[in-house]
Structure 1
Amino acid sequence: MAQDAGAAPRTRTQTRNRAAILEAGLEVFSEKGFRGATLEEIARRARLSKPNLLYYYPSKEAVHLALLENLLDAWLAPLVALDPAGDPVEEVLLYLRRKLALSRDYPRESRLFAGEILRGAPHLGPVLGGRLATLVADKAAVLRGWMDQGRLARLPPEHLIFSIWALTQHYADFDVQVRAVLGAGRDPYAEAGPFLETLFRRLLAP
């Protein structure tokens, strides 16, 4: 989260402690959910006292909100990058790859986001109905334009985007289930990438 304008510069210790709190918060929230997380556990994992943690973040909600704010730009970036001037099928497949890579590289962040949605999005509700909805509408218009030109199969564009979210984030949000079914020695993401690309390439073909 950006430092407030006009605020005194943070010391190295303050920067380090904030980073430690957010890292610990990410671990605890992704493992235990918002309701199961406690400030005591976050402080313990950050190797700080609870009063020291409260100096930086006045509540569990404040830690959670800071994590969500830090996550949002990264989560939206792959959809922002969908290029109207690119090849339609390849642009959608590139979006798919980027979303799968996010799930692979940031599984805790994916579970944090999923947990917020399952709670009714108390922190992100305005963003979902505002910034996210606007972005999806803009990219759905791009997809619809490609469909009108005969360059993509005719599909409901918003639901095409939803399906990419579902089929990529599943591997992070249900990681334990996926790995239990596949068994030891198999890489879910190495297998998922070619499968999803084949699936969507066939689906998108005009």
Structure 2
Amino acid sequence: MKDDESGRRSKNGQASRGSRAEARRATEESILKAAERVFAEAGFGGATMQLIADVAGLPKANLHYYFETKESLYRRVVERIFNIWLEAADVFDAASGPAEGIGAYIDAKMEISRNHPNGSKVWASEVMHGAPVIQDYLETTLRDWTEGRAVIIERWIAEGKMAKVDPHHLLYMLWATTQHYADFSHQIETLNGGAPLSDAQWEDAKTCVKSIVLRGIGVS
């Protein structure tokens, strides 16, 4: 009997810890979404922890429990969108050629612009201001990732799978095109009759961008 009671207490304790961990993750997710929105709209200088707490629907003290300073929260927001972009680029490593690799990369980046527009805007604003907080990312992780993908593109060129182009300028163009749908979403919505792109319009946009890019680098 005692063993049964001990087992139940153990299971209940594990369930309780699991519930607390899940609640913590949910709260952190709410904070990050609120912070993305506030940083995107107000910039780092104009954002306040109180405003982020208000948007997240939390007391300011709770916000400081998760993130002690505005800068630590800002860096987490930047890390979040950057890591999402890096994961999207994994398709390069496994792809047999540019049609699969670059095509899938465009699809993934367009979906990120659709689902994480504020994170993209935060990154764009930071870089346009000289990257005062994330310069280390640009000089290390981003540079390493870019050089690694350039090697893959150069291999495809050497194998005759695509036209000879500068890999860096190709990547810059891919970033600019796909992230335009996030960073300039208001402009796109205005030109779309004041409405966000529908599911069908997003699919059309991805197909069109892929067609233009792939044809431009000699991939049928």
**TM-score clears 0.5:** yes
**Is 1:131 paired with 2:141?**
yes
Judge which range, 191-200 or 177-186, deviates more: 177-186
1:26–1:112 contact (8 Å) kept in structure 2 = yes
Q: Which runs of 5+ in 1 are unaligned?
A: 1-8
**Is 1:42 paired with 2:52?**
yes
**Is 1:70 paired with 2:83?**
no
Deviation at 1:85, TM superposition (A): 5.1
**Is 1:32 paired with 2:42?**
yes
Name the % identity: 31
Deviation at 1:182, TM superposition (A): 2.4
1:103–1:171 contact (8 Å) kept in structure 2 = yes
Which of 171, 174, 178 pairs up with 2:181? Answer: 171
Judge which range, 16-25 or 130-139, deviates more: 16-25
Letter matched to residue 191 of structure 1? D
State the alpha-carbon separation in 1 of the partners of residues 194 and 204 from structure 2.
Answer: 13
**Is 1:200 paired with 2:213?**
yes
Letter matched to residue 88 of structure 2? P
Deviation at 1:179, TM superposition (A): 1.1
Equivalent positions of 1:2-151 (< 5 A) are: 11-12=20-21, 14-83=24-93, 86-151=96-161
2:91–2:104 contact (8 Å) kept in structure 1 = no
> Over the residues paired in the alignment, what is the CA RMSD in angstroms?
2.4
Q: Report the counterpart of residue 8 of structure 2 in structure 1.
A: none
Q: How far does the alpha carbon of each residue in 1:78-99 deviate from its partner, in whole angstroms, 9 at most, with x for none?
A: 2232036512223211111111
* Larger radius of gyration between Structure 1 and Structure 2: 2
Q: Which runs of 5+ in 2 are unaligned?
A: 1-17
State the alpha-carbon separation in 2 of the partners of residues 107 and 199 from structure 1.
Answer: 23
State the alpha-carbon separation in 2 of the partners of residues 135 and 50 from structure 1.
Answer: 37
TM-score computed with the length of structure 1 as normaliser:
0.85
Q: Report the counterpart of residue 6 of structure 1 in structure 2.
A: none
Deviation at 1:146, TM superposition (A): 1.3
Q: How far does the alpha carbon of each residue in 1:74-130 deviate from its partner, in whole angstroms, 9 at most, with x for none?
A: 111122320365122232111111111111121111112212212322232112111
Where 2:79 maps in the other structure, the secondary structure is: helix
State the alpha-carbon separation in 2 of the partners of residues 105 and 48 from structure 1.
Answer: 23
Where 2:107 maps in the other structure, the secondary structure is: helix
TM-score computed with the length of structure 2 as normaliser:
0.80
Q: Report the counterpart of residue 152 of structure 1 in structure 2.
A: 162
Deviation at 1:165, TM superposition (A): 0.4
Q: How far does the alpha carbon of each residue in 1:48-90 deviate from its partner, in whole angstroms, 9 at most, with x for none?
A: 2223322332221121112222332211112232036512223
Where 2:160 maps in the other structure, the secondary structure is: coil
